[in-house]
A and B are shown apart, each in its own frame.
Chain A
């Protein structure tokens, strides 16, 4: 789905009404992070329809609903202290940082706990990956783990259910260097975990970016990521 400038308002309306399919809605959400015009159109659509919600007769909520919420609230992490996240592989804004992904730096700390478990398991095997990356979605939830063995083989383990439309496929990317740009590691057919064999790439490094995008069936036609980012994360060296 290409977002035409003239269609912005129409797409924003359909997004706010919940009429877009999952992939389209995901794309709108990804685009909103760096497209001010689209964000404005969505905000305008929200406020246009809001009276239909705020005019509703309130119901009395369960007395323990607040307590349940309060118990589950995590401590707030100060945003100002967060480490800046490197530009994304398919970020078309020069030097731009997508604000939605900023929270990832924080969530990555939680993810490292999960990573520790994964590493303990992976380092006991005979062939060791050179790097391991935990991939998170925009909400900071763990979606997948990539183990790159450095011999043009990478194992991608999905840790959540992905719903992929029939005409789309999940494609795995890495960014060996800014000069080289994002390189495809391969496609995840049927949205399953897989071991991928890629063309020769430089030896994976610490903090190298890995990401999974939703592309048209058969993979991105341009050789670069074009679709919405489903998950991304930075590599760590197993120690």
Chain B
């Protein structure tokens, strides 16, 4: 268990070490039986052969491109001091950005705090966005994600009063949300298809990290596998994913 995971205990209210860190915290749908885990090992070798070569186009691509161009232009306008441009980004994306942050930090008030800080950073750093370095949307979401992860790693929750459990997304709810992020991807999405071609356990590891902000240690705990195994499976899963989406 690394140091980050220990801090996370404050935000993720479940045991971080010792015997109590068991698969029992994984809801029925998430729980991997031993034979399933063994099957995952067995199929790891053949994983590279499983990728579908069917590259279906994304639905709504034209719409997405328009949106992306708008965001790019808005960032440019922000850099030259146009506050209405930042407002346009807020109006277009804040509902999703708060939801993304909440999936990581689990509380709405903290998620809004994350988005608030992120918009200040978008404003002050808009001049650093380079259109040839990825999409404007990806840049904006990355700022929100980094803020949310920092809040999680800082264990800031300990400073907050009140009964957190009542207003906090429970572990099982969060794990369901995490899997839903993959299942609700567009049916023809390359990402959905490539994630689908991974072993179940590798897919879970990757989704828990990206969608839920889990550390290697937390993933190993939830999936009942040793830390080193979690790290190497996620690394191999990511490598397969890159190959599949190339």
Contact = CB atoms under 8 A, between A and B. Distances in A.
B102 A59 contact: yes
Given A66-B90, A76-B123, A55 B185 contact: yes
Interface string A41-64: 011101111111111111111100
Interface in B96-128: 96, 98-100, 102-103, 108, 112, 115-116, 119-121, 123-125, 127-128
B100 A53 contact: yes
Given A16-B142, A48-B191, A50-B141, A56 B134 contact: no
Contacts of A59: 95, 98-99, 102, 108
Contacts of A19: 209, 215-216, 234
Interface string A6-26: 000110011011110110000
Contacts of A72: 116, 120
Interface residues of B, number: 66
Interface residues of A, number: 50
Contact of A58 (B90, B95, B134): B95
A13 B242 contact: yes
A55 B139 contact: no
Nearest to B128: A99
A69 B119 contact: yes
A76 B84 CA distance: 13
B87 interface: yes
A58 B90 CA distance: 12
Contacts of A79: 79, 127
16 contacts: A19-B234, A22-B4, A43-B138, A51-B186, A52-B191, A55-B185, A57-B99, A61-B94, A61-B115, A66-B90, A69-B90, A69-B116, A69-B120, A70-B83, A72-B120, A76-B123
